[in-house]
Amino acid sequence: MRPSAVLLADPEAASRTTLERHLRSDGFEVLEAAWGARALDLAERQAPDIVILAEADLCRRLRAGEPGRRWDRNVPVIMLTEPGADAVERVRALEQGADDVCERHLYPELLARMRALLRRARLGQADLLDAGEIVVDLPARQVLLRGQPMQLPGREFELAAHLARDPHRVFTKAELLRDVWGIRTALRTRTVDSHASRLRRKLCQRDTDRFVVNVWGVGYRLLDRGSGGGPG
């Protein structure tokens, strides 16, 4: 399992450096941002598992989204406060969309709160991803095609599961490399294409099947546009 990615957005350099060092030592991948625009760019490109930030306005922007941009607006967020922050400040952070609040110098507490939020986020994921004729059973790590189980090796299953989370959305190759293979750097490779091709051959058992659709120059979606999972 790849390490959880933490977006750490804190304009205070000393605090950010200290937290980064602790988080890396505890096995997290850390994405650093000193200002809001950089943090939103990382949220969009790197899809962190959890966000730690120090500015209420950034939390509001993260939750609200921005026209023409896409990131997970439901990502778990912890707001950092100064030592001795009063109840009003903590309530204001929660009202801006934070899931939790922690004083920046209390790292053991912050770590415990992060792990609790990550645990709840994982438990909250649907066990079954229903994409019409294709159903992905996550606990059983099994794909059902029209009710029949498919034999898929690990990466093909993970690719099918990722596409099934939003079956009509086009996932870029960079997104799939990052989320399925854990590769977060630019890399020229045919890995996504070869796995997608093998998965398509296994799922398309009828002449009319249109699954794992290649959108040229962009990436892949599980179902053809306008399809409910049946003939394309």
How far apart are alpha carbons 140 and 134 in whole angstroms? 15
- Report which residue type is found at 123: L
Supply the range of the domain harboring residue 202: 128-223
Q: Are 176 and 156 in contact (CB under 8 A)?
A: no
- HSE-CB of 176 using CA atoms within 13 angstroms: 32
Q: Are residues 10 and 87 in the same domain?
A: yes
User: Would the pTM count as exceeding 0.85?
Assistant: no
Instruction: Please report, for the domain that includes residue 26, its CATH number.
Output: 3.40.50.2300
How far apart are alpha carbons 21 and 27 in whole angstroms? 10
Q: Are 54 and 11 in contact (CB under 8 A)?
A: yes
**DSSP label of 209:** B
**Dihedral sign for Cα atoms in the order 131, 135, 137, 141:** negative
Instruction: Please report, for the domain that includes residue 142, its CATH number.
Output: 1.10.10.10
Q: Are residues 47 and 81 in the same domain?
A: yes
Q: Is 84 exposed, middle or buried (0-12, 13-18, 19+ CB in 10 A)?
A: exposed
Number of domains in the chain: 2
Q: Are residues 20 and 104 in the same domain?
A: yes
Q: Are 211 and 203 in contact (CB under 8 A)?
A: yes
How far apart are alpha carbons 19 and 8 in whole angstroms? 8
What is the pLDDT tens value at each position of the chain, 232 positions in all? Answer: 568 899 999 998 998 999 999 999 999 999 999 999 999 999 988 889 999 998 888 998 888 888 888 888 888 999 998 887 777 778 878 888 888 888 888 989 999 999 988 887 776 566 788 888 999 988 888 999 998 998 888 889 999 999 998 899 899 998 898 888 877 666 677 889 999 999 999 999 999 999 999 998 889 999 986 554 443 3
Q: Are residues 114 and 46 in the same domain?
A: yes
Domain final residue, candidates 68, 90, 123: 123
Q: Are residues 113 and 142 in the same domain?
A: no
Q: Are residues 11 and 114 in the same domain?
A: yes
